[in-house]
Amino acid sequence: MATAKEQTNSLVEKDRNNIWHHISAYNEKNPPMIVESGEGAWIKDHQGKRYLDAMSGLWCVNVGYGREELAQAAYEQMKKMSYVPMSQSHEPAIELAAKLNKMLGDDYKIFYSNSGSDANEVAFKLVRQYHQQNGDHSRYKFISRYRGYHGSSMGALSATGQALRKFKYEPLVPGFLHVAPPDNYRKPAGQTIEEYNIQRALEFEEKIIWEQKETIAGIIMEPLITGGGILIPHPVYVEKVQEICTRHGVLLIIDEVICGFGRTGKPFGHQHFNVKPDIITMAKGLTSAYLPLSVTAIRKDIYEKFDTGEENSHLRHVNTFGGNPAACAVALKNLEIIERENLIDRSVELGDRLHKVLASLKGHPFVGDIRGLGFLLGIELVENKDTKEPATNARIGKIIGDCKTNGLIVGRNGDTVAGFNNVLTLCPPLSCTDEDFDFIVSVLKKVFKENE
Ligand code: PMP
């Protein structure tokens, strides 16, 4: 009988021989963690060591791991009907679309795909076609923000504003432009937060004008920048961007791939602001990542341009797996759990508590800023609080490594090229218990104390 250690070693070797991992470079000295199981906020590796996953995987396991009723929902649906293309229809897709639409105020149509990238690609295609069908044949450009992430496929990557993820794959899709987002921690002295946020919003308008406004099709942005380092705008920013869009005939796409489904303390992140997006994309927390599913929600008055009965007026987009019946059944059950367990209120409560208990960290020599919305938090690490020089790689790596040694998985985000990959991120399952919460806080406090 092979020992547990030998079994793990054999898997590690097979992994090394066969898997090309996403984004990470592993080698003999630095093998990937092989995860065996999960329950609640906790995952267990192949050696039986437990970690609290304070990143919910890739910001997605909102209801936590090991939910039997989600497995059951998938099982029942697969047994009954495993596959229906979305050129036809089925009950879980119908019920889920009705449910999502209700959460959005009942005036959207729901288009199903598989991933966040897919959902954004659908948005780009339909925005271009919408303008075509309105006779606006010159509108094809999109504007997004530096530091924002919108996915890995060519269009979604073109919208992404993080150079390191892009430069080896260029040239990307023509017509994607970028402006700087508000970074309130680094706003210039002498400006109020409101003035600064309005000024940053006006960068969209400047771009629209310089580029010839009749060429601009859409703006895409997250309600707050997540992967780019948790940058939370003042409400005047988002509201001004919508006003600019309306004035210039530009459609506003809000990417809720991370911010949706309670993460920021509302059903959707944009609901913190007084805006009504034209298009909303969602994925991750929609199924809590139990199965792949994503959605592009389109305002009905926009959809009507595609429903004219004229030849070639419909959206020429199809994908095989989008709206998969088991994935829709799981999404429905996942939304039921979020409601039943009041996880959106819990997100607000845990987020508030986290801010309060971590306030003491503000005095730490390397903590420049702590910011968040709902149960989503960023701790910006700096070398020098006056100059705000980002913390060194070594320092950030040590803090994150020490968290892991103590059983806590945290994230690291920001913008690598500009040197601002210095934000420690927390995005734990919304289902964290009070004990889980205390564990997160105790490890953070211990690790920061040891790294003073
Ligand atoms: N938009 C945002 C805001 C994201 O964070 C991500 C993924 N991290 C995506 C889109 C792309 O999603 P996917 O990886 O499912 O394609």
**What are the residue ranges spanned by the domains of the chain?**
33-63+342-450, 69-340
Residue closest via CA to ligand 1's atom 12 equals 116
Q: Is 117 in the pocket of ligand 1 (CB under 6 A)?
A: yes
Q: What is the pLDDT of residue 27?
A: 87
Domain 69-340 architecture: 3-Layer(aba) Sandwich (3.40)
Q: Is 222 in the pocket of ligand 1 (CB under 6 A)?
A: yes
* Predicted ipTM of the assembly: 0.99
Strand pairing class (42-45; 50-53): antiparallel
Pocket test for ligand 1, best of 23, 59, 117, 254 (most atoms within 8 A of CB): 117
pLDDT tens for the chain, 452 residues long, are 788 889 889 999 999 999 999 988 888 888 999 999 999 999 999 999 999 999 999 999 999 999 999 999 999 999 999 999 999 999 999 999 999 999 999 999 999 999 999 999 999 999 999 999 999 999 999 999 999 999 999 999 999 999 999 999 999 999 999 999 999 999 999 999 999 999 999 999 999 999 999 999 999 999 999 999 999 999 999 999 999 999 999 999 999 999 999 999 999 999 999 999 999 999 999 999 999 999 999 999 999 999 888 888 999 999 999 999 999 999 999 999 999 999 999 999 999 999 999 999 999 999 999 999 999 999 999 999 999 999 999 999 999 999 999 999 999 998 877 778 999 999 999 999 999 999 999 999 999 999 99
| Cα 157 to averaged position of ligand 1 atoms, centre (Å) | 10
- CA torsion sign for 77, 83, 84, 86 is positive
Q: What is the pLDDT of residue 37?
A: 98
115: exposed, middle or buried (C-beta count within 10 Å: 0-12, 13-18, 19+)? buried
Q: Which atom, in ligand 1's list, is nearest to the CA of 152?
A: 16
- CA torsion sign for 343, 185, 257, 301 is positive
Domain 33-63+342-450 architecture: Alpha-Beta Complex (3.90)
Q: What is the pLDDT of residue 415?
A: 81
Pocket test for ligand 1, best of 124, 150, 221 (most atoms within 8 A of CB): 150
